Amino acid sequence: MKNSKVLIYDGSFNGFLTTVFKAFDEQVQIADIQKNSAAQRGLFSETETVFTQMDKAKRVWNGVQKKSNSAIKNVYFAFLSETKGIELLLYRYIRNMFSTTDMLHLNFTDDTILKISQLAKSVGREKHRMEAFVRFQLTQDDVYFANIEPDFDVLPLISKHFRSRYADQQWLIYDVKRKYGLFYDLNSVEIISLDLKEIHTNSIRKSDAFTGDEYNYQDLWNNYFKSTNIKSRINMKLHTQHVPKRYWKYMSEKKEAV
């Protein structure tokens, strides 16, 4: 029997897919798949670093997609959950899928499959939350700017939504936790990283990075938010269930509550 190996990849989704390709191609006995930033040497297994190769990643992507569209979506979404050990779980998921012709990804009695579909669902929920909770502030140089701090790495998933919605304005959404952002320049979206001096939460303190009208509109919005509440139906539990407190600091209507 061959020794099992720990494969190390660069942390990107394509890197992961390349690793899966290598494992299949060379019939590697996998002990674990780890990001290079968080690699831990196993006591009894050797390690090998895998370099991302787009053509190989693409082949795995196409292979899974051919099996099922919802499966490839599950794989991608679950990967973005950044859950510890997700790589190995996904590797098993993909391996099981290729081992039979059945629509195995619908077998919700299997622990791995159920777990992947639940993780994918959580990431999907976070994506939807970000589409809802992003609050743009208009900067002096005419860019609609927002900071976010999502539970999962959902920026790649929300790009298309914002691109088709705000086609006629420049916007920038920056993930302060993962330190990168999306910038749309009226033509296309690119990934950027910034050296942010301060994190622009929607605080009561005004910053001169933003236009004066910006604060007037925030004021109007906060007023609207208060007026549209029906006091005799108050239900704070439901309120925080829908808008968990960890998101409040980036939402202008909640800035007084933070």
Partner 1 sequence: MSFERIKEKLNILADAAKYDVSCSSSGSKRTNTNKGLGDSSGMGICHSYTEDGRCVSLLKILLTNHCIFDCAYCVTRKSNDIKRAAFKIQEVVDLTINFYRRNYIEGLFLSSGIFKNPDFTMERLVAVAKKLRTEGNFNGYIHLKSIPGASDELMREAGLWADRLSVNIEVPTISGLKLLAPDKKHEDFTKPMLKVKNEIIQYKEEKKVLKSTPKYAPAGQSTQMIIGATGESDKDIMYSANHYYKNYNMKRVYYSGYVPVAEDSRLPAIGSQVPMLRENRLYQTDWLLRFYGFSISEILNDKHPNLDIDVDPKLSWALRNLNNFPVDINTADKRMLARVPGLGMYSVSKILKARKFRKLNWEHLKKIGVALNRAKYFIICDSHQWEKRDLQAYQIKGMILQNSQGKFRKNYSSQLSLFN
Q: Which residues contact 23 (CB under 8 A, 6 or more apart)?
A: 7, 30, 91
Integer angstrom CA distances of residue 123 from 8, 113, 130, 243: 24, 15, 11, 16
Radius of gyration of the chain from its Cα atoms, rounded to whole angstroms: 22
Name which of 106 and 199 has its Cβ closer to partner 1: 106
Roughly what angle, to the nearest 10 degrees, separates helices 69-80 and 54-67? 130
Among 18, 19, 81, 137, binds partner 1 (CB under 8 A): 137
Span 228-257, contacts to partner 1 by CB under 8 A: 228-239, 241-243, 251, 253
What binding mask, one character per residue, do residues 196-235 give for partner 1 by CB under 8 A, x or -? --------------------xx-xxx-xxx-xxxxxxxxx
To partner 1, the closest distance from the beta carbon of 150 in angstroms equals 15
To partner 1, the closest distance from the beta carbon of 91 in angstroms equals 21
β-pairing verdict for 180-184 and 189-192: antiparallel
Q: State yes or no: residue 141 binds partner 1 (CB under 8 A).
A: no
Whether 211 and 139 have beta carbons less than 8 Å apart is answered as yes
Among 169, 179, 193, 204, binds partner 1 (CB under 8 A): 169
**Of 10-18, 41-49, 71-79, 135-143: span binding partner 1 (CB under 8 A):** 135-143
**Of 3-11, 49-57, 79-87, 164-172: span binding partner 1 (CB under 8 A):** 164-172
Whether 29 and 5 have beta carbons less than 8 Å apart is answered as yes
To partner 1, the closest distance from the beta carbon of 106 in angstroms equals 4
Q: State yes or no: residue 258 binds partner 1 (CB under 8 A).
A: no
How would you list the strands of the sheet with 180-184, edge to edge?
137-138, 143-148, 170-175, 180-184, 189-192
User: How far is C-alpha 225 from the chain's CA centre?
Assistant: 28
Q: Which residues bind partner 1 (CB under 8 A)?
A: 102, 104, 106-110, 114, 128, 131-138, 144, 146, 161, 164-169, 216-217, 219-221, 223-225, 227-239, 241-243, 251, 253
